[in-house]
């Protein structure tokens, strides 16, 4: 246990050294002056190349492919090395990580950016892990799980019993694949984002937007007539008030996924910003004496982020399940559905 903790300590303080020393050196070489805001935004943002770290003499960067489509000119594919440090290639240049045409024309950027590459990597990891888990079930059936399967079984059962069954009710089975995918996708990507030099995928609002939109679509397509009845003719509301109540309810449909999107994005991005800010203190004060304090705090927040990683995945999954549950519930379950447990089960059994 002790050895494990020490190993964890080493791994977790690694990003602190690897990222910050590197970026500070890179920053210093360019502008002389250390600007923490720019450094932090650079770290949490997307980019066309994958910058691992820099030493005083060299940058260690993986250049990713740029795929640009321009109406009239067609598709151009080339390495982002050609655009490094503000160079112009094929009439294209990078303006603050935004791909622009020299002549001011329209450019559609389909590049494999750092986040896209990270997404592909995590998809590959998820596929590898869960095909292994699925193989375990195919081979051993309902027998005792082994290896990686035994690590994931409690989590899968937790999502099924505590999240899906309690929130959705008897029709939970259809939504299990989506809920499990969302949970493990967010969790894995949150953890990957904490690794040194990794991309901040779940802290990218486009990624969380996509997941929120999928949740919205799943909710809308699985909704029954009770759901719409509650929105357009809320029971117990006088007819005269309906012109006010309908917009209020309609706002509710869109605000739910919107809050999912913002929460995940804000939590993950805020965590990264806090860690980077603590580390920046060293370079702001230009003193080694600050480093024990800022690394200790950075490490503390990093440990906290390990918890936040799974907590946010759980919250996203749970709220998705609740929104779906609200859309598929039968009329009589209205009083029971959120609390779940015995009352809900009896209610489902009775009707």
Q: Which is nearer to other proteins, 24 or 180 (CB)?
A: 180
Is 180:316 a contact under the CB 8 Å cutoff? no
Is 140:146 a contact under the CB 8 Å cutoff? yes
Contact region with other proteins (CB under 8 A), list: 44-52, 177-185, 282-290, 315-323: 315-323
Q: Which is nearer to other proteins, 93 or 263 (CB)?
A: 263
Contact region with other proteins (CB under 8 A), list: 84-92, 107-115, 200-208, 337-345: 337-345
User: Residue 61, Cα to own-chain centre: how many angstroms?
Assistant: 24
Residue written as token pair 């002056």: 33
Using CB under 8 A as the binding rule, whether residue 157 contacts other proteins is answered as: no
At 267, phi and psi to the nearest 5? -65, -45
User: Residue 165, Cα to own-chain centre: how many angstroms?
Assistant: 24
Is 220:327 a contact under the CB 8 Å cutoff? yes
Q: Which of 319, 327, 328, 347 binds other proteins (CB under 8 A)?
A: 319
Is 179:317 a contact under the CB 8 Å cutoff? yes
- In the numeric block, which tokens belong to residue 138? 């195919």
Under rule CB under 8 A, which residues in 279-298 are in contact with other proteins?
Answer: none
Contact region with other proteins (CB under 8 A), list: 92-100, 113-121, 294-302, 335-343: 335-343
- Helix/strand/coil (H/E/C) assignment for every residue in 201-266: CCCCHHHHHHHHHHHHHHHHHCCCHHHHHHHHCCCCCCHHHHHHHHHHHHHHHHHHHHHHHHHHHH
Using CB under 8 A as the binding rule, whether residue 165 contacts other proteins is answered as: no
Using CB under 8 A as the binding rule, whether residue 318 contacts other proteins is answered as: yes
Using CB under 8 A as the binding rule, whether residue 256 contacts other proteins is answered as: yes
Contact region with other proteins (CB under 8 A), list: 7-15, 91-99, 103-111, 331-339: 331-339
Using CB under 8 A as the binding rule, whether residue 255 contacts other proteins is answered as: yes
Using CB under 8 A as the binding rule, whether residue 248 contacts other proteins is answered as: yes
Least distance to other proteins from the beta carbon of 326, Å?
9
Least distance to other proteins from the beta carbon of 264, Å?
10
Is 197:52 a contact under the CB 8 Å cutoff? yes
Least distance to other proteins from the beta carbon of 249, Å?
8
Least distance to other proteins from the beta carbon of 252, Å?
5
Q: Which is nearer to other proteins, 6 or 250 (CB)?
A: 250
Using CB under 8 A as the binding rule, whether residue 334 contacts other proteins is answered as: yes
Using CB under 8 A as the binding rule, whether residue 263 contacts other proteins is answered as: yes
Q: Which is nearer to other proteins, 113 or 215 (CB)?
A: 215
- In the numeric block, which tokens belong to residue 252? 């509710």
Q: Which is nearer to other proteins, 104 or 235 (CB)?
A: 235
Using CB under 8 A as the binding rule, whether residue 154 contacts other proteins is answered as: no
Give the whole-angstrom CA distance, residue 296 versus residue 278: 9
Q: Which is nearer to other proteins, 40 or 260 (CB)?
A: 260
Using CB under 8 A as the binding rule, whether residue 339 contacts other proteins is answered as: yes
Give the whole-angstrom CA distance, residue 1 versus residue 316: 31
Give the whole-angstrom CA distance, residue 262 versus residue 319: 13
Comparing C-alpha atoms, which of 61, 52, 65 is closest to residue 22? 52
- Kindly determine how many residues on this chain lie close enough to bind other proteins according to the rule CB under 8 A: 27
Residue written as token pair 């082994």: 146
Using CB under 8 A as the binding rule, whether residue 166 contacts other proteins is answered as: yes
Strand partners, 108: 69
Using CB under 8 A as the binding rule, whether residue 335 contacts other proteins is answered as: yes
Using CB under 8 A as the binding rule, whether residue 241 contacts other proteins is answered as: no
Q: Which of 37, 147, 154, 252 binds other proteins (CB under 8 A)?
A: 252
Strand partners, 54: 59
Give the whole-angstrom CA distance, residue 115 versus residue 123: 12
Q: Is 188 helix (H, G, I), strand (E, B) or coil?
A: helix
Put the strands of the sheet holding 65-70 in their side by side order.
Answer: 74-79, 65-70, 108-109
Residues that bind other proteins (CB under 8 A): 158, 162, 166, 244, 247-248, 251-252, 254-256, 258-259, 262-263, 314-315, 318-319, 322, 334-339, 341
């Amino acid at each position: 246990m002790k050895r494990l903790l020490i190993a964890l300590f080493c791994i977790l303080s690694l990003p602190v050294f690897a990222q910050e020393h590197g970026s500070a050196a890179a920053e210093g070489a360019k502008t002389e002056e250390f600007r923490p805001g720019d450094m932090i935004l650079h770290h949490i943002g997307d980019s066309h190349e994958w910058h691992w770290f820099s030493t005083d003499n060299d940058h260690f960067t993986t250049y990713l492919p740029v795929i640009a489509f321009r109406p009239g000119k067609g598709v151009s594919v080339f390495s982002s090395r050609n655009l490094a440090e503000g160079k112009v290639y094929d009439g294209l240049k990078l303006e603050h990580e935004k791909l622009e045409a020299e002549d001011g024309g329209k450019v559609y950027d389909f590049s494999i950016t750092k986040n896209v590459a990270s997404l592909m990597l995590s998809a590959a990891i998820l596929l590898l892990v869960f095909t292994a888990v699925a193989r375990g079930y195919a081979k051993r059936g309902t027998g005792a799980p082994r290896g990686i399967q035994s690590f994931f079984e409690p989590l899968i059962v937790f999502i099924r019993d505590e999240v899906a069954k309690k929130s959705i009710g008897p029709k939970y089975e259809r939504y299990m694949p989506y809920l499990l995918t969302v949970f493990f996708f967010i969790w894995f990507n949150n953890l990957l984002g904490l690794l040194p030099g990794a991309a901040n995928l779940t802290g990218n609002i486009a990624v969380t937007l996509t997941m929120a939109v999928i949740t919205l679509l799943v909710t809308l397509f699985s909704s029954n007539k009770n759901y719409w009845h509650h929105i357009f003719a809320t029971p117990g509301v006088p007819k005269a008030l309906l012109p006010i109540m309908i917009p209020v309810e309609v706002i509710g449909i869109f605000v739910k996924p919107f809050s999912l999107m913002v929460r995940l994005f804000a939590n993950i991005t805020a965590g990264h910003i806090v860690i980077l800010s603590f580390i920046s203190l060293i370079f702001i004060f230009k003193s080694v004496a600050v480093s024990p304090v800022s690394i200790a705090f950075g490490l503390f927040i990093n440990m906290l982020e390990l918890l936040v990683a799974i907590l946010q995945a759980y919250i996203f999954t749970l709220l998705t399940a609740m929104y779906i549950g609200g859309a598929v519930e039968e009329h009589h379950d209205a009083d029971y559905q959120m609390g779940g447990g015995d009352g809900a089960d009896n209610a489902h059994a009775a009707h």
